[in-house]
Amino acid sequence: MANIQQKPNIEDDPSVLEIYGNKLVSTSFDRGAVVITMGTARIFPERIDEMPQQGQPPVIHVTARLALSPSAAVELRNALDNILGAIRAASPPAAGSPQNIN
């Protein structure tokens, strides 16, 4: 008989912080964990009443580090592949790109 694995119950703790990142700072693998460091790009004017200077490089502030076991990293990759596939399917083709006509 096949060994049927039951899905675990998920307990969502509302006190867990949600952290925003819009830049991938780094990734690494030390044979024990995949570590992903995320950051947020921010451009601050020198004074409150001034606009940020054009050409001024943004400062990337590290906002989160996520350390995953190799198996959790594979699960994350598979989930991201599914999300990216859905985004591709929902996006109109770029101008000048070949279209599949069946």
Q: 44-70: per-residue pLDDT in tens? A: 766 777 776 777 778 899 999 999 999
pTM of this structure: 0.67
Q: Give Cβ neighbours of residue 38 (< 8 Å, ≥ 6 apart).
A: 19, 21, 23, 24, 25, 62, 63, 64, 65, 66
pLDDT value of residue 84: 96
Annotated domain spans of the chain: 23-44+57-89
Residue 100 binned pLDDT confidence (cut-offs 50, 70, 90): low
Please name the fold of domain 23-44+57-89. Answer: Transcriptional Co-activator pc4; Chain A (2.30.31)
Residue 4 binned pLDDT confidence (cut-offs 50, 70, 90): confident
